[in-house]
Amino acid sequence: MRERTYTRGLYAVAGAATSLFLIYAYAHPVSPSSITAAAKASSTRRAPAGTASSPTTTTSASETTSALSSLINPTKKYLGVAQDNVPNSMTDLAALTKKIGKSPNLIAYYVPWGQPLNQTWVLDLDNDGIMPLIQFEPTKPSIADIAAGASDAYATTLAQTIKNLGVPVVLSFGHEMNGNWFTWGTQQTSAADFVKAWKRIHDIFAEAGATNVIWLWDVNVTYPVPNIALDPLYPGDAYVDWVGLTGYYNTTAGGRSTFKTLFEPTMEQVREFTEKPFLIAETGVSPGAEKPTEIENLFTGVEDHADVLGFVWFNYNKPGKNETDWMIDSDSTSAKTFASLAQGPDWGFPRTP
């Protein structure tokens, strides 16, 4: 949990590429220079934010379904990042990629529910072999209204758009819904309404034939809200592919953390009602002398759990109350530790076979 005021802009999802490129990308990991090139080129390739330009190429349904299966249950780990300023600027992502010596293969974006997708920028990300994780934030309308159909038109358009892209994307709706710090959280939303809204959106995508979506149900780790049961918030295995966990190694929360103390209690509760694989969907380590050690603990914790697919690092500097500098390179030792661990053969594989 991070109590935060969101100023995130409109973000996009990854778009289409030819099958030949996908095969090449799998055999040739994305280099830091390719991200840098994308940063330089994006200003000329990207349409204005909010436009819905059409991709020039798409992947067939059979190719997408085959690729999706291998991405839902990968043999290696996802090295993910939520990078400040992306997609409005690729400069910081290019600098991070150069610093750690390996491109992330999963990028998270926080998108206000109801906003259109910028499909031109989608192509930029796809060209770098990166899969998007779209965190839809349903500030309005209310979850109860969405459950009753208030967003059906938007969801239908969104489903058709993503279907037409023809490449795998990860979608999350109402992350950290078990917390009380968002409008879609427990203070203003019932578990029944949340589940109903989730199923309604999922069904709209299914009816549209958008089979290229990996559905991520993303909860906050339970220690800040121990009295909120997760099971009533779960839509069911037919509606979920991955279980996301949001949790931070944060001294401001009191003491230091380990993977075992931070994530495993929530994992144990989730295992009472589903065997779906986990993704650490949002994490980071606060500054301090123990930061390099805790970065290593995060990598090791993911590697030691076969049912944890990887992590997404929240690479933002958020000064202020209840916030901190979550940047990987907040100090040189931490940056070197992260870079060294990221070179492991199980991390940062290209997003498609």
Q: Please, are residues 312 and 281 in contact by the beta-carbon 8 Å criterion?
A: yes
Give percent of the chain with pLDDT exceeding 70: 77
Name which of 83, 77, 100 is nearest 39 in CA terms. Answer: 83
Is pLDDT above 90 for 322? no
Q: Which residue has the higher pLDDT, 8 or 340?
A: 340
- Please check the confidence at residue 125 and state whether its pLDDT lies above 70: yes
Rounded Cα–Cα distance for residues 167 and 19 (Å): 10
Structure tokens at 95: 């600098």
In this prediction, residue 330 has a pLDDT band, given cuts at 50, 70 and 90, of very high
Which residues lie closer than 8 Å to 260 by C-beta, 6 or more apart?
301
Helices 91-100 and 332-342, packing angle to 10 deg: 70
**87 within 8 A of 11, measured Cβ to Cβ:** yes
Q: What CA–CA distance (Å, rounded) separates 35 from 81?
A: 14
DSSP-derived pairing of the beta strands 106-112 and 308-315: unpaired
**List 3, 63, 137, 176, catalytic entry:** 176
Retrieve residue 155's tokens: 């969801």
Tokens 């992590």 identify what position? 311
Lowest average pLDDT, out of 40-49, 83-92, 149-158, 305-314, goes to: 40-49
Q: Which long-range contacts (CB under 8 A, 24 or more apart) does 20-29 make?
A: 21/127, 22/59, 22/63, 22/67, 22/352, 22/353, 23/353, 25/129, 25/350, 25/351, 25/352, 26/349, 26/350, 26/352, 26/353, 28/350, 29/102, 29/103, 29/348, 29/349, 29/350
How would residue 63 be classed by pLDDT, with cut points 50, 70 and 90?
A: low
Kindly tell me if the per-residue pLDDT of 211 is higher than 70: yes
Question: What pLDDT, on the 0 to 100 scale, is given for residue 119?
Answer: 74
In angstroms, the Cα distances linking 323 to 21, 251, 316, 326 are 41, 11, 10, 9
Residue 286: predicted pLDDT: 92
DSSP 8-state symbol, 336? H
Confidence at residue 3, expressed as pLDDT on a 0 to 100 scale: 42
Exposure of 242 in the CB half-sphere (CA atoms within 13 A) = 31
**Would you say residue 11 has pLDDT above 50?**
no
The rounded Cα 65 to chain-centroid distance in angstroms is 20
pLDDT tens by residue, 228-265: 999 999 999 999 999 999 999 987 555 678 999 999 99
- E strand segments, 4-104: 78-83
pLDDT of 204 strictly over 90: yes
Query: How much is the pLDDT for 323?
Result: 74
- 245 strand-pairing partners: 219, 280
pLDDT at 256: 78
Q: Which of 3, 264, 268, 282 is catalytic?
A: 282
How far apart (Å, rounded) are the C-alpha atoms in residues 275 and 307? 9
pLDDT at 218 over 50: yes
Q: Which of 17-21, 135-139, 294-298, 347-351 has the lowest mean pLDDT?
A: 17-21
Predicted pLDDT at 65: 63
What residue spans define the domains of the chain?
19-342
pLDDT tens for 150-162 read 999 999 999 999 9
For residues 14 and 169, the answer to whether their CB atoms sit within 8 Å is: yes
CA–CA distance, 206 with 241 (Å, rounded to integer): 14
**Residue 282 annotated among the catalytic residues of the structure:** yes
- Per-residue CA distances from 309 to 31, 138, 295, 301 (Å): 22, 26, 17, 11
Q: Which two tokens stand for residue 299?
A: 């990598």
Domain 19-342, classified CATH 3.20.20.80, yes or no:
yes
Structure-block tokens of residue 34: 């390719």
List the structure tokens of 146. Answer: 């969405």
Q: Please state the pTM of the whole predicted model.
A: 0.83
- Find out whether 113 and 137 touch, Cβ atoms under 8 Å: yes
Residue 290 appears among annotated catalytic residues: no
**pLDDT reading at 52 higher than 50:** no
pLDDT at 98 over 60: yes
